[in-house]
Amino acid sequence: MRRDERVVRELVGAHGQTYAEEVGIRLRDTPQPLYRLLVLSHLLSARIRGSVAVAAARSLYGAGLRDPRRMASASWQDRVDALGRGGYRRYDERTATQLGEGAGLLGERWGGDLRRLRREAGGEVSELRRLLREFPGIGPAGADIFLREAQRVWPEVAPYLDDKALQGADRLGLPKDPERLTELAGDTEPAVLAAALVRVAVDKEVAEDSLRRAE
């Protein structure tokens, strides 16, 4: 087995957990898991540690804010408090407002169902990305996070290896070409490969561990 293949195998084996899995979202092409992924993507896109975003997502879900109807009907203070319990304090007030507004938009425009947004995009990934960015607080990074993970259940998106994932590939000395990376990954799902590469991009210790394992 060649060096690049060994690196990818060891990386995925040790660090190939999606963020949805880390939070406990059983991702399916149904409204509630997709909405929970949207909220998680929003939280992860802020300039804050991924572990804090994960904890805040769990806190929101634990408070019952698992679907757009409940998120929109919760008070602003309830959303702030749930974010705070998860340690998401730096951006809690603004994020609480954005989550409420975004839940309202999803309910009004797409009936609370992100699959309708998908249908509106008509299979075009660029249009999916544009529509996702209409949600308050979902910028380019948030849209990328959502699509990286959603490719697991929205196959027209795959393989989705964004700039952050390619930064991880570069840190490992791997090719920065999505097609070549998916070839190196073999049967590994693109969503899992992307998640592992992103973990490399944000944590140099993950890179060092993967390279050490591949020696």
pTM, rounded to two decimals: 0.95
Structure tokens given for 81? 């408090």
Per-residue model confidence as pLDDT tens for the chain (215 residues)? 699 999 999 999 999 999 999 999 999 999 999 999 999 999 999 988 889 999 999 999 999 999 999 999 999 999 999 999 999 987 889 999 999 999 999 999 999 999 999 999 999 999 999 999 999 999 999 999 999 999 999 999 999 999 999 999 999 999 999 999 999 999 999 999 999 999 999 999 999 999 999 88
- The whole-number pLDDT of residue 89 equals 84
- The whole-number pLDDT of residue 77 equals 96
- The whole-number pLDDT of residue 47 equals 84
- The whole-number pLDDT of residue 1 equals 61
User: Cα separations (Å) of 101 from 31, 56, 79, 121, 202?
Assistant: 18, 18, 12, 21, 29
Q: Count the helix, strand and coil residues of the chain and give each as a percent rounded to the nearest 5.
A: 70, 0, 30
Q: Residue 61: CB partners within 8 Å, gap ≥ 6? A: 23, 24, 36
Residue 95 to residue 83: CA distance in whole angstroms: 9
- The whole-number pLDDT of residue 91 equals 83
